[in-house]
Every structure is written in structure tokens, then in C-alpha cells.
């Protein structure tokens, strides 16, 4: 049985992780921490865990937790993990970080977008970007996983096959995405108060959202593997996120120009070649677009597309649950690979509907 520690277990992502691991066949949560609820029973923070009266919230002592646990998940604000993770910790346990500290290869880019100094630049080369469907073999061998962001998971999975196969032009890419309010975290913020968020849709961080460089870096790596693309041309794209008045879920729409005339069947065949055997990626049928309600509380990412012959554009739509495939579920998927388990272990959950 894999002994698990969750540091930052009282946020939305940490709570979702504990929920998923509660029924995992080969893992057991041994330690949960929080800076606000030390000494409380975990079910006093989240009443839905009343079945587990023994799980107590502890103080954040990663050195002690690393000695006790086989895997430690860091569900912390950006900037925290790079000040905590060390070579010594990685020799004792495996780390899966929910934050952005190890997602970007260049610390200068990280510091520019996140406005915080990176505390472990020497570990960046050891971190593996934990998008299992793309980096599965690297994840298996990793000691430190950078769990991807929710928007980026959706965007990368939607566009990766198209960029690898040079189906779309990589200049002028536009990604528009809508997220439920849980994506903003559990902290108090005026923008997520009921009266502010309900009956309202708003764009935020327009032109400066922190997931932009993550999208650009990963899609640029995909482009570099395309046989007919000149090297040294990083992708620059437009990404605009929106907050919508629902608890959870992301719906992402990407717009791209086709490199030549394609039929629907040709593009579908490309997606099928990349994702046809991927359990957690579901391709929708022609004429059916993904919806957030069909992925809620699951680890699935649904992808569909429409050919706009009038404009020569391809419109790709993807949906996932930001707390599961966009965070905790993906983290469990990575843990499964790291420990040689069945990749679906603990994650074979059908979406919840209605909810």
C-alpha cells in the first residue's frame, strides 16, 4: 500500500485529491496538512469525510512527512514548492506538485509571469511535466512531477495532435476558455463572492494569464517534433480565460487556420491515432460538441472539432473537470505511473449527472 501525504489538503484541489484517494485500491492517505486547521479532524473541515474520523490535520513539516510517506502531493500556492523541495527530499520520497514552480523550463520566464523568485532552479532539469498522455514514459521514471495547470491540460490535449501533424498553422492561434469558480481556489476574493460571480460571465487576466507561457512552451515542443516545421520558431498565442457561474469545469475553444484542405474524416483519423487508445480522452462524434456536464467529477477530457470551410479554420472544443483531470485526478494518474500501477487505478469514475 502506497503511503501518501497531502500538503495543503484543505484547498479545493487537496480536498479533491483526498476524495479520490479514499477509494484507491493501492494507496492510503496517511498525512494531511493545513496552515489554518492544525489539530482538527479532517472531517471537521470537509463534512463529506465523516466516514474517516482518524484523519487529523497536521502542521506542515515536509521533512518528517517525506520520511513517512512514499508519495507527497503539494497542493500549495505558486512559489511554495520551490522553497520546500530539495535533492534530499527527492531521495526519500516522490513529489507531485500541483503548482507552477516546476512546469516551466526557464526560471526567468517563471519569475516574469509569477512575480516570485524561483527557489530551486537546480531541480528544474529533474522535473517532469506530468501530462501522462504525452510524457507517460518520463513520468514512470520521475521523482518530481510538475502537475500541469487545468487550462493548459485542456488546451494542450486539444491541439497537440494537430500541431505534431502540421494540420494547423501555429501563428495566430487563439484559445478562449471558461472555468468554474473553483478554479480560483478556496481563498476569500471579491470576484468569487456569490453576488459578484452569479449571473455573470467575465474575462480576467486578459493577455497576461499565467498559463500562457505553459501553453506556449508545451505546444512549441510539439511543433518542434513536426517533421516539416523549421526549428527555433516558438509558438506565441492568444489566451483569454473567463469565469462562469458554475462550481467546476472548463470549456475551451481553440481557433486555428488549416495548413491545407482536410476532410472531417482525415482530421478525426489523426486524433484517433494519437488518442484512440487513451482511456481518459474521449473524442466526440461528428456534430456533437463537448460539454462540462458530461465530464463533471471525472478524469475524462472530451474533445471535438468542427471544420469551418468558409473561413478555412478549424474550431476545436474540449471540456474537463478542473479539479479532477485539471488537478487531483491527473496527479493520481501520475502517481499510478510512478509506482507501476494500472494507470486508471482509483480513477474509473463515471461523470456525475445531474449535479
Whether the predicted pLDDT of 50 surpasses 90:
no
Give residue 59's pLDDT: 93
Beta strands in the chain (DSSP E): 2-7, 27-33, 57-58, 71-74, 94-97, 127-129, 144-146, 174-179, 202-203, 238-243, 250-257, 281-283, 301-308, 313-320
Q: Distance (Å, rounded) from C-alpha 316 to C-alpha 155?
A: 9
Give residue 181's pLDDT: 86
Q: 93-107, 133-147, 178-192: which range is least confident on average? A: 178-192
Whether the predicted pLDDT of 194 surpasses 80:
no
- CA triplet 111, 112, 115: central angle to 5 degrees? 65
Give the bridge partners for 251, in sequence order. Answer: 178, 319
Give residue 129's pLDDT: 98
- If one compares 341 and 233, the residue with the highest pLDDT of the two is 341
**Omega prior to 354 cis, within 30 of 0:** yes
Confidence of residue 52 (pLDDT cuts 50, 70, 90): confident
Q: Give mean pLDDT, residues 261-274.
A: 97
Whether the predicted pLDDT of 333 surpasses 70:
yes
Domains of the chain: 2-148+325-338 (3.40.50.720), 151-321 (3.30.360.10)
Q: Give mean pLDDT, residues 173-180.
A: 96
- If one compares 230 and 220, the residue with the highest pLDDT of the two is 220
52-56, 190-194, 258-262: which is most confident: 258-262
Phi, psi dihedral angles at 250 (to 5 degrees): -130, 135
Q: Give mean pLDDT, residues 286-310.
A: 97
Give residue 189's pLDDT: 72
Per-chain mean pLDDT for the chain: 94
Proportion of the chain above pLDDT 70, given as a percent? 96
Q: Distance (Å, rounded) from C-alpha 125 to C-alpha 106?
A: 10
Whether the predicted pLDDT of 186 surpasses 70:
no
Positions marked catalytic:
150
C-alpha cell at position 152:
493548459
Proportion of the chain above pLDDT 90, given as a percent? 87
Give residue 121's pLDDT: 96
Q: Distance (Å, rounded) from C-alpha 19 to C-alpha 142?
A: 24
Confidence of residue 195 (pLDDT cuts 50, 70, 90): confident
pLDDT tens digits, one per residue of 223-241: 998 866 666 689 999 999 9
Amino acid at each position: 500500500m502506497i503511503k501518501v501525504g497531502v500538503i495543503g489538503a484543505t484547498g479545493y484541489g487537496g480536498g479533491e485529491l483526498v476524495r479520490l484517494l479514499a477509494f484507491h485500491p493501492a494507496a492510503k492517505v496517511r498525512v494531511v496538512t493545513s496552515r489554518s486547521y492544525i489539530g482538527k479532524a479532517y472531517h471537521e473541515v470537509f463534512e463529506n469525510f465523516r466516514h474517516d474520523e482518524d484523519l487529523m490535520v497536521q502542521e506542515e513539516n515536509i521533512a518528517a512527512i517525506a520520511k513517512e510517506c512514499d508519495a507527497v502531493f503539494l497542493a500549495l500556492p505558486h512559489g511554495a514548492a520551490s522553497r520546500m523541495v530539495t535533492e534530499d527530499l527527492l531521495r526519500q520520497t516522490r513529489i507531485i506538485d500541483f503548482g507552477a514552480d516546476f512546469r516551466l523550463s526557464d526560471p526567468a520566464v517563471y519569475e516574469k509571469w509569477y512575480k516570485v523568485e524561483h527557489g530551486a532552479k537546480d531541480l528544474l532539469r529533474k522535473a517532469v511535466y506530468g501530462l501522462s498522455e504525452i510524457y507517460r514514459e518520463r513520468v514512470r521514471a520521475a521523482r518530481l512531477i510538475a502537475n500541469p495547470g487545468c487550462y493548459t491540460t485542456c488546451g494542450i490535449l486539444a491541439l497537440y495532435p494537430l500541431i505534431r501533424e502540421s494540420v494547423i498553422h501555429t501563428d495566430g492561434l487563439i484559445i478562449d476558455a471558461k472555468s468554474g469558480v473553483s478554479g480560483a481556489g478556496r481563498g476569500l476574493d471579491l470576484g468569487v463572492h456569490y453576488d459578484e460571480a452569479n449571473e455573470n460571465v467575465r474575462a480576467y487576466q486578459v493577455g497576461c494569464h499565467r498559463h500562457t507561457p505553459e501553453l506556449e512552451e508545451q505546444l512549441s515542443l510539439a511543433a518542434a517534433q513536426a517533421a516539416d516545421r523549421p526549428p527555433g520558431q516558438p509558438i506565441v498565442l492568444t489566451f483569454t480565460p473567463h469565469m462562469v457561474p458554475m462550481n467546476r469545469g472548463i470549456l475551451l475553444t481553440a481557433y486555428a487556420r488549416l495548413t491545407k484542405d482536410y476532410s472531417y474524416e482525415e482530421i478525426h483519423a489523426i486524433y484517433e491515432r494519437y488518442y484512440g487508445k487513451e482511456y481518459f480522452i474521449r473524442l466526440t462524434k461528428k456534430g456533437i460538441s463537448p460539454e462540462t456536464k458530461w465530464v463533471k467529477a471525472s478524469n475524462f477530457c472530451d474533445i471535438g472539432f468542427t471544420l469551418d470551410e468558409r473561413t478555412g479554420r478549424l474550431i476545436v472544443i474540449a471540456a474537463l473537470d478542473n479539479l479532477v483531470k485539471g488537478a487531483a485526478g491527473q496527479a493520481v494518474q501520475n502517481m499510478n505511473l510512478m509506482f507501476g500501477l494500472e494507470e486508471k487505478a482509483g480513477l474509473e469514475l463515471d461523470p456525475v449527472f445531474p449535479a
